[in-house]
Amino acid sequence: MNDKARAPRPPQAGFTLVEFLVALIIGMLVVLAAIASMLGTRNTAMTSDDVNALHQSSALAFRLLGQQIRQAGYIPIDATEPLYYFNANADRNTNLASEPAFFAIKGEESPGGSVHDRLKIGYAPNPDHFKDCLGQGAKNAAGDVYDPAIPVAPDNVRVITSEFSVANGVLRCKGSGNTAPQPIIDGVERFDVAYGVGAAAGSEQVVRYVTADDVASFNRVRTVRVCLQLAGSSRNNPSGGYTDCDGKSQASGDGRLRRVYTAVFALRNNLGAL
C-alpha cells in the first residue's frame, strides 16, 4: 500500500491555558464549598454538643438542689418525744460543730463584685434519709457518723447540712459529712437565689421573692427560686444572645453559648412551727 494513500492523521489537541485555568478555578470552588460545608456542619455539631451539655448540667444541679431543698426544715413527728433525737429545737445541741442549733434555710447574698449567692440547707435526719448533698452521712464533732440503725444513739448528729456555692466557675457543695466543698457542675457564670416568703408565720402563701439580705426571717421562707447561668466550652456562637437572671437581654461577645435556667422549689415542711 502506498504511503500516499494513507488517511491523514488528525492533529493532536490539548487544553489551552484558558481552559486549564477555568477548570482549576471550578475545582477550587468545589473544594472551598466542601470545606465551608464541613466547617458549618462541625460548628453546628459543636453547638449542639454545648446545648446538650448545658441541659444535662442544669438537670443535674436542679435535681440535687431540689432533693435537698425539699427536705429543708424536716423534723420527724414524735408527739411523746421519747426519742430526743427527734427534738431539733434550738435549745437542743445538734452534735454538729459547725451548726450547734437546728435551722432549715440560710442564705447569703453574693459579696461585693461577685454574682454568686450561697445557700445552706438543714434538716433532721431519719433512718430513711440521712445523707447530705454528696451522699455522705453527717459527722459530729467527734467524727462519729450518724447511725440510722440506732437513731436514739446519744452521739448521733441531729441536723444534716448541705451548702451550695460557686468557686472558679464550678458549683460546689459542702455537706455535713465532708470537710471541703466538692464539684457538681462547671461552666457556672451566675448562681442566683431568691426566697419566696410568706405573709406570716404558718402561712403557705408566697407574697414576694426577695434576696437573702431582705429576708426578715428565714422561718417564713416557703419557696426557693434558683437561677443558673451556664456557658458552653466552645467558641462557635459569635452572635448569640441570651436573657440573664434579671430578665435583661445580653450578648455573648466571646463566642460561647450561654443558657439561663430557672427552677422553683417548695419547702414541704411548715417552717412557721420552728
Q: Output the pLDDT for position 63.
A: 95
Q: Look at residue 69 and tell me if it is in a domain.
A: yes
Which run of H or E residues covers position 68?
Answer: helix 17-69
Tell whether the model's pLDDT for residue 4 goes beyond 60: no
Q: Look at residue 216 and tell me if it is in a domain.
A: yes
Tell whether the model's pLDDT for residue 18 goes beyond 60: yes
Q: Are 193 and 225 in contact (CB under 8 A)?
A: yes
Amino acid code (one letter) for 184: I
Q: Look at residue 1 and tell me if it is in a domain.
A: no
Q: Look at residue 100 and tell me if it is in a domain.
A: yes
DSSP symbols for 86-140: G---TTS--S-TT--S--SEEEEPPPTT--B-EEEEEE--BTTB-B-TTS-B-B-
Label residue 91 exposed, middle or buried (CB < 10 Å: 0-12, 13-18, 19+): exposed
Mean pLDDT, the chain, rounded, equals 81
- At 186, the pLDDT band (50, 70, 90 cuts) reads very high
> Domain limits at 50?
36-273
- At 84, the pLDDT band (50, 70, 90 cuts) reads very low
Tell whether the model's pLDDT for residue 52 goes beyond 90: no
The model carries a pTM of: 0.79
Q: Output the pLDDT for position 226.
A: 97
Q: Output the pLDDT for position 157.
A: 86
Tell whether the model's pLDDT for residue 155 goes beyond 70: yes
Across residues 8-13, what is the average pLDDT? Answer: 62
Q: Are 231 and 197 in contact (CB under 8 A)?
A: no
Handedness of CA 215, 218, 221, 224 (dihedral sign): positive
Nearest-angstrom CA–CA distance, 263 and 224: 8
Q: Look at residue 31 and tell me if it is in a domain.
A: no
Q: Output the pLDDT for position 238.
A: 65
- At 234, the pLDDT band (50, 70, 90 cuts) reads confident
Tell whether the model's pLDDT for residue 2 goes beyond 60: no
Q: Is 40 helix (H, G, I), strand (E, B) or coil?
A: helix
- At 82, the pLDDT band (50, 70, 90 cuts) reads very low
Q: Look at residue 127 and tell me if it is in a domain.
A: yes
Q: Look at residue 54 and tell me if it is in a domain.
A: yes
Q: Look at residue 61 and tell me if it is in a domain.
A: yes
Residue with more model confidence, 115 or 209: 209
Q: How many domains does the chain have?
A: 1
